[in-house]
Structure 1
């Protein structure tokens, strides 16, 4: 057997190294797996027992090679030929191999050899009590500060990072300590010293995160009763035990689903990758700790890799081979190739597995229905769902109420209650409740609706905490262009308009205008369409609301036209699903980390295909595992099974490819990326249909008719007058295989793609949010976890390559609010590549979004940045968005007209880093309502 295995290995690799397998050394560094080193180690153990005689030499060599080959085969099987293995795991396998082969004396010699080397390592880093400082531990005992451990902690945190200085970091920390400092404050002092240096070098961000891991490990391991403290090296042994202990602890304290105990926890524990703890940025790890790790009595009992495995297990609960699938899902999450949405991360594997991101409801025109919708809002918000409410059916102010023979107060008083409900139900203290109300532009209350967020006027008719959006028919936009009048109606007089779009809406709307002209409809109002449009844009600039979204593009390109009407989008404007009185649309979100799918040649399409396939499976699983707070949501999700696969890190990908956001190359890259994601996502859903069956309402859908998202553009073109749609419809891939697959297998999911804001999950994995341009290259980000200095690592790297990164450059970036444009010594090509959001003309954002939109069956959260907005700029930008076929837009960002005066005096003013503006759907800069 040994010769066969060895021959197989040598023919496979041609050398003793094993490509794909890597070894984690004790110091945290990584090297190629080399079987010859195992041969040598085993040989030394034999020699220690049998002596170094020539007669034994050949036998020892052959025996050592045979055992080493078997060990190598074990790791190839376990890791499928790729991955990392710790040196301690290899040595454990050597012991087992020697014991199983009957070489007990040699095995004992090998154990003694390991123990002796462990003692030698310990001797090299002895306890080093500080001569004057002591630490107060949790039990009240004071002991001398262990300088040896502190030095080792800093040294490990610095490994693999170039531009950091561990010695000066430790010295500065020691200067800030005092005798008797509590153990927790000791960790905090070290972390605070490191984080203060992030603005000087981005490498201090992962360094700070690694230092933060020490108190995180200490807390969780103590809660689980595994250890008082642990180093990074110790976690190789402790992590498998921590997983089993955390699952048992969580089940015992009713935080986790008892079904998790049915997994093969030993296999899952061995699959954990401790080295991935070192991949976090400080912001990412702090965010996980503050808001995602499970806790009991305010004590966290999860560690990062346990957290990712818990999420993976929760998503694999109903798989045929749950342990194998959990490992597959864990690999995707913990490698940062893909990240599930915030509700999924919060609740997967728990007793209340509300994993869905977005809920869309239609509010009926009766009192019972209205308050039923308010109750649904509260119940859905409780479990971390973002809400989109369609209020168009509710009759307007002054409309007749038949039951009481009175007059309606319109939608505004009810929206005030919606606003207060969102504030009251704060999702268990994890984040604010979040809701967006949508209203069609022909509703008689539209003029009051667009002023809901104003800070002046009657406060009883204002909603300061919720979001609003205009739901605009194409006919209105045509009249804006043509400078014609627009008629406002109460839906109680024109009830069918709510469910019509395209040519059917046009004909019916014009019919109602004729009835109003003839006096058959009395409750209406005529306004110049352009005046209403200008008021919409004016309020958008003044208050950030209502957002601009387009009804016809959402409906005419919806795959589910046969099943109902899309009446609104969601909280973040990327979801476009049909709703009704008895169905609440639900979407389940997750995002691909784009920068992880680039190589030196560009987009790594093979890796992207693998990621998309697993991600679509995870998202589809959410539908069956999900906890539904209201029946309408469960009914809808079971029938249509929509998911929303998106992306994040687009700006990072541009930086990696050295492309400016404001360029044709970037627009083309956006097109290429989205086409590949669309290609593989549709194919993956179709493959799931072959395995699990098509979704219930598949028959009659656009998918069933063989119409893909790229084809549905023609529906929109046919419905608009000539000249009102300007969309690039080119493709680079051969879509024939996907079309044939659809014809044979159908689709598992009614919708498969949507690009969400990804603010929080992008923080976790350390990339730019969604499709956003760089806000600033140096700024302070404020969120529920505190304030974090963010410096663009790509810019720093580029400046270092040209010898331009120094203390002066740091101060220049502060002075110019993170902009490189005014800094003379920065070359023009870098100024273009690192232009900030307000320095990129908004047309480039719209053009890139249009290229993505043609491949999407849903929409995208598209923020627009205009440095100095005026009426003309806003008008041109939003008209362009409509002409390019966009379905929705999100926030309008604008800069203040003035900036604080800059000072060159040494009074600290120059050291102030500007803060990111509030930029999300819940008045928090960290918009996580969807992700």
Structure 2
């Protein structure tokens, strides 16, 4: 009798017979099954190969007599049909099967059909052949002279030799073109962390972790780490589509084009992307993908995309970076007449990092429910039905990833008369508590916390209690620990602060028209109501010293981080839409200033940001490139309005009526570095002015040209635009209403604004509002630049967000220090010790200390003055964080008065100097620098206010100020 192995001698090529031949797959018919071979190539599924293999197995056991041949033929035909039907039932629309899965199914079907002997011999053969294959593979590989031979455990549980040659290829690609990085350093350390029997998936993890620990010594290792991470991403996505089990960066030059059609098809089947994307010429778009742009990412940027942006199915990311950008571009071009050309234009802009759409647009463009807008502004009416209707609107808008700004000023104050019940009101605070809890209960699309900001005008009777909403003491039923708050401050109040006069608080039901008034009209009516109160005609009111209320506002801001201070009059007096309504609040991040009306209009902001650093060429702003970028960006933003999914009907009505957009900037600090300009300098202020003038000019021009192509927005007539009054001109309106003694704003200009004014008057505008500078926290991480208009936080620190902890080193600084021979291990150690500051490191020259001063080393006056220069060009506002070292009452008073006096519309977070510091115990260990716990949300490297000076009682014993979302807070991204 033959041995078991001999019995299967005729089946020596069974495994090769089952899809063993054929060329790699290049194109697949719709619904076709595909097979991944062991070498990673993919071939079409061919049932005849299964039949041939099983026939050989049967004949080897039963012989080749005529009777046996007849039975074998019938049995094999039946079993092959069953196997094929099984896979088609599992994947009715087509899919990818590994060769091992087919062989497992052959074994199973043989056992179920009663063919135990054939099945037994088949199993023995598979085991023996797997052993011989492993031996052959090991023998074919020459031992690596530098590293020991190790085995890895594959996903199917089998063992195979570690492919060190491929590791070398991947690391070599990752280091290509980068100065200061060493392939051998990465391989040596990664191999020390591997062991015999390590899981194959952990090999990439070892490489990534090794490279990221070197970032603090050389910033280019951040690019290396990202490229090593790309190897994992490619394997995950490409194997999902059956294109390949793995690929190098060089392979992606061809594989991207192959993968895009498969991605669109599968994404539609899984109901993850819109079926309308199938109407594009996918071959044309696939060929437009630029694989080398994968090399632009830092580790933080790529990991952020992977963790939070790429579309996934059962936790498998099915997008790669260039496919991700193309999906967003296709979604934005979906209604264009020449949609392929526009999609490619949009893709090239996004993937170049010259411009980036906001987070909701990146999340949802091209999906079944394209909620692309960033923030929604509402006004809450003064009746119970309307209040809870507004809270329901909050819930619906939050569900689909919108950030919210609520105007609560109309709601009557505590103790105000209620005619319908002959009772007294409980005031606005209990309703704010409900709004707070709604934001917690209904988060943003299941992806991040609900984010809402409540606004209240400074004359409201409940304002003093409003100031205390974020305190950690007092009645918790009258606290909103999860909601942002902001003061909506009229100029009349600020004048009384300056003049040290009294201020009167009212309930809005007694003074209903104050809510819609601003400028001189507000002051006149407000003084009228004060006379009415003095005469006893208004019963519910309170008189306070304006300066005392101002100090309490600043004290609560210092203690709790809230309420932020925003200014009602400049937002309205400079609004292009004064004829169409009133700006009653800003948004979640204080950069949007749009009209709202209770029960009628919910304002919507549609955001994107220009990467200013990408437009500095040869040390100066490239005007031609900037104009091209702005023109395309304006078109993309305008498209958002028509494509957007609206969860609430009134938001759609408002957005289509006025068509507002908000084009902003990011990477301002990087742009300064490129020009060798210190943030604390007149040159930086001048650059803030000239760069924003250019953005403003090109943005207004682009919107006007779009109006000529597509038509003016419907409420254009009567707007400031229609009168030839541009943002730079509206400063005069503010000055006339406020009085020249209360404002100081530079009004110089360099562009040909006269010609543009006439063009706008004649041609119109496509958008009621065009510019706003958002925080850009997350999208600036993706593009690898500093957030928004922020100064550098620290030159070396650990950044924590939902994607983990990342060592951040200022690459510009390292480049300069290397050029002067000053970058070494001692310098790294010193930067850790001094928390990223250069000021106390003696061997660093003064010019570098000035250029690389960190946020708390920049005097607030420079931040405010630069913001003032930008504000004169912007029709909306800017998300402006204020950094104050050694904060006390006097510094806060001066800074916020200066902000109002300089014509700013809004301010955002107050950042006080950190008490939390880099953990010194990690110095010289080579580990990632750990950070002691502290700051809001427990985020690392969190600045908290130092203890206030004892002589300033209003700021004593302050709690840590929460982090600004424009720096670290991953929960606040609606405007980013």
- What TM-score results when the alignment is normalised by the length of structure 2? 0.81
Map of 1:187 onto structure 2: 204
Structure 1 residue 913: Cα displacement: 5.7
Contact 1:814 1:910 in 2 (8 A): no
Q: Distance in 2 between matches of 1:848 and 1:344?
A: 29
Contact 1:903 1:909 in 2 (8 A): no
Map of 2:839 onto structure 1: 821
Map of 1:84 onto structure 2: none
Residue 290 (structure 2) pairs with residue 273 (structure 1): yes
Map of 1:929 onto structure 2: 974
Contact 1:135 1:143 in 2 (8 A): yes
Q: Distance in 2 between matches of 1:923 and 1:767?
A: 12
Check 1:663–1:609 CA distance in 2 against 1; reply closer, same or farther (3 A cut): same
Deviations 1:743-802 (A, max 9, x none): 221000000000000010000000000000000000111111111110000000010111
Structure 1 residue 399: Cα displacement: 0.9
**Please, which moves more after superposition, 688-697 or 223-232?**
223-232
Q: How does 1:693-712 map to 2 (within 5 A)?
A: 693-712=711-730
Residue 193 (structure 2) pairs with residue 176 (structure 1): yes
Q: Distance in 2 between matches of 1:808 and 1:486?
A: 58
Map of 2:815 onto structure 1: 797
Map of 1:422 onto structure 2: 439
Deviations 1:440-492 (A, max 9, x none): 00000000001111111111111111100000000000000110000000001
Structure 1 residue 126: Cα displacement: 7.6
Residue 944 (structure 2) pairs with residue 916 (structure 1): no
Deviations 1:164-218 (A, max 9, x none): 1111211111111122222222211110111111111100000000000011011
Q: Distance in 1 between matches of 2:162 and 2:802?
A: 33
Give the unaligned 5+ runs of structure 2: 1-139, 933-939, 943-961
Map of 2:45 onto structure 1: none
Map of 2:403 onto structure 1: 386
Structure 1 residue 905: Cα displacement: 8.7
Q: Distance in 2 between matches of 1:534 and 1:811?
A: 42
Deviations 1:545-572 (A, max 9, x none): 0000000000000000000000000000
Q: How does 1:341-352 map to 2 (within 5 A)?
A: 341-352=358-369
Q: How does 1:13-412 map to 2 (within 5 A)?
A: 132-412=149-429
Map of 1:102 onto structure 2: none
Look up the SS of the partner of 2:329 in the other structure.
helix
Q: How does 1:631-642 map to 2 (within 5 A)?
A: 631-642=649-660
Map of 1:629 onto structure 2: 647
Contact 1:694 1:749 in 2 (8 A): yes
Contact 1:814 1:912 in 2 (8 A): no
Q: Distance in 2 between matches of 1:865 and 1:327?
A: 41
Look up the SS of the partner of 1:627 in the other structure.
coil
Q: Distance in 1 between matches of 2:616 and 2:215?
A: 26
Residue 826 (structure 2) pairs with residue 781 (structure 1): no
Contact 1:434 1:922 in 2 (8 A): no
Deviations 1:786-841 (A, max 9, x none): 11110000000010111100000000000000000010000000000000000000
Contact 1:902 1:909 in 2 (8 A): no
Q: How does 1:679-828 map to 2 (within 5 A)?
A: 679-828=697-846
Q: Distance in 1 between matches of 2:969 and 2:165?
A: 41
Q: How does 1:572-611 map to 2 (within 5 A)?
A: 572-581=589-598, 582-611=600-629
Deviations 1:93-139 (A, max 9, x none): xxxxxxxxxxxxxxxxxxxxxxxxxxxxxxxx988787542122222
Q: Distance in 2 between matches of 1:491 and 1:631?
A: 27
Contact 2:413 2:460 in 1 (8 A): yes
Check 1:331–1:901 CA distance in 2 against 1; reply closer, same or farther (3 A cut): closer
Check 1:412–1:143 CA distance in 2 against 1; reply closer, same or farther (3 A cut): same
Look up the SS of the partner of 1:302 in the other structure.
coil
Give the unaligned 5+ runs of structure 1: 1-124
Check 1:874–1:854 CA distance in 2 against 1; reply closer, same or farther (3 A cut): same
**Please, which moves more after superposition, 417-426 or 462-471?**
417-426
Map of 2:634 onto structure 1: 616
Q: Distance in 1 between matches of 2:835 and 2:160?
A: 46
Map of 2:574 onto structure 1: 557
Look up the SS of the partner of 2:626 in the other structure.
helix
Check 1:594–1:126 CA distance in 2 against 1; reply closer, same or farther (3 A cut): farther
Taking only aligned residues, the RMSD between alpha carbons, in angstroms, comes to: 1.7
Structure 1 residue 899: Cα displacement: 5.7
Structure 1 residue 901: Cα displacement: 9.0
Look up the SS of the partner of 1:470 in the other structure.
strand
Check 1:266–1:179 CA distance in 2 against 1; reply closer, same or farther (3 A cut): same
Deviations 1:826-884 (A, max 9, x none): 00000000000000000000000000000000000000000111111000000000000
Check 1:906–1:321 CA distance in 2 against 1; reply closer, same or farther (3 A cut): closer
Map of 1:863 onto structure 2: 881
Map of 2:111 onto structure 1: none
Map of 1:65 onto structure 2: none
Structure 1 residue 429: Cα displacement: 3.0
Q: Distance in 2 between matches of 1:626 and 1:905?
A: 50
Contact 1:338 1:615 in 2 (8 A): yes
Deviations 1:529-588 (A, max 9, x none): 000000000000111100000000000000000000000000000000000011000010
Q: What is the aligned counterpart of 1:880 among 886, 891, 898?
A: 898
Check 1:128–1:724 CA distance in 2 against 1; reply closer, same or farther (3 A cut): farther
Look up the SS of the partner of 2:505 in the other structure.
strand
Look up the SS of the partner of 2:578 in the other structure.
coil
Look up the SS of the partner of 1:586 in the other structure.
strand
Structure 1 residue 925: Cα displacement: 2.2
